[in-house]
Amino acid sequence: MTVRTRFAPSPTGYLHVGGVRTALFSWLYARKHGGRFILRIEDTDRERSSMESVNAILEGMTWLGLEYDEGPFYQTNRFSRYREIIEQLLASNHAYLCYCTREELASMRAEQMARKEKPRYDGRCRERHSPREGVSPVVRFKSPLEGRVVIRDLVRGTVIFQNNELDDLVLARTDGTPTYNLTVVVDDMDMGITHVIRGDDHLNNTPRQSNIFYALGKEPPVYAHVPMILGPDRQRLSKRHGAVSVMNYREAGYLPEALLNYLVRLGWSHGDQEIFSVAEMIKLFDIEDVNQSASTFNSEKLLWLNQQYIKNSAPEHIAHHLSWHLGQLGIDPSKGPDLAAVVKAQQERSKTLLEMAHNSAPFYREFEAYEETAARKHLNASVLGPLRDLRERFKEAQSWVAPALHEIILATVESHHLKLGKLAQPLRVAIMGRPISPPIDVTLELMGQATTLARIDRALAWIDHRSNA
């Protein structure tokens, strides 16, 4: 049997981290077992679904590298198939037309609640054989009245539901549009899905869907219901906790593999190991090792993990993602020093790519102004002489590489009887506009001789102007 898993988001909003974790678990399971991973867009909610949300899902999957083998399939393209199955269930007496009005259903539920009963449809139309004038019927599934549904869940173990606790769910609305519990069964059946990995908020749907499979003469797939992700306050993850679009994490400067690594550890572990390559995730991940308890989203842990990935990844890989962030700042990274070399200089001190992009911007374009506090402290009349001397030495430099530049700075410092920081910091502010940069000699090499001389000239003029003001 070839393992076939699926990710089936509804395009009614952004792709958030809970959905991404479900997709990741499904993707890993398929990859581990040499199977197929299918993307299905469950867009039957026409009022809330949008192409904008579809594009956000596709963009998020691409950025994360969760490539799918088949799809995307759209449920709105399969309405004729759903109608075919509905007719089949009606013909086999596994479904029926229900003519109850909304008012009747509301009254029925109110009476049940008054009797302290669980509100549910009481099946009053199960054996009705004549239409009701002026009422458009829904189609209901004729749920078994006896027996039980046994779910062998890969995460939760054996879960048993009594059929007499299940009501007759609606399969098709009055306008003929199919409902979720029908479409998901038909799609999983037609697409040959063998394993369904999804959030445990779907667990109560599973016995209903299983009974529809049985009515169609099919075995349900194997289910694995993963617990939800909670915020630090142990409430369901929401926007205030970070349940934003996955693309917001890209905009905030996270690497996709860092986010995947963080999400795979929400509910799953392999000993004490914290950092996993994607290859290691595929090799080691097992859905049966996922915890039953809910996981807590920790933004600080994600940031730490992202920093580890930035620090330890190949500069060329970081540069691939950093170029997008520079582009967002209006910078063309081809017009300046080699981006991988800039990354190598910045890796140790960057927690996010957004931070790295802002810190790298002066290598690619002139900064607008000096940081006020830094300029006031470091760019003053006391450094005019040493800075002019250093500028002339740089002008005569025969080799523009970090070791040679370091020697020039040391020689200038010694000749003026200064400590290194007394010249290095003013030089850093002059070159970068701020007091923080990679090592000054590396910074100068990356900046290049012409730009370095021009920025020292700018700083000298700024000091002269301030001194004479």
Buried b (16+ CB within 10 A) or exposed e, 116-148: eeeeebbeebeeeeeeeeeeebbbbbbbbeeee
- Cα gap 62→56, rounded to integer Å: 10
Q: Are strands 170-172 and 138-141 parallel, antiparallel or unpaired?
A: antiparallel
The residues that are catalytic are 239
Residue located via tokens 């996709």: 256
Buried b (16+ CB within 10 A) or exposed e, 381-395: eebbebbeebbebbe
Sheet holding 4-7, edge to edge: 4-7, 36-41, 70-74
Q: Are strands 95-98 and 138-141 parallel, antiparallel or unpaired?
A: antiparallel
- Cα gap 193→211, rounded to integer Å: 16
- Cα gap 415→412, rounded to integer Å: 5
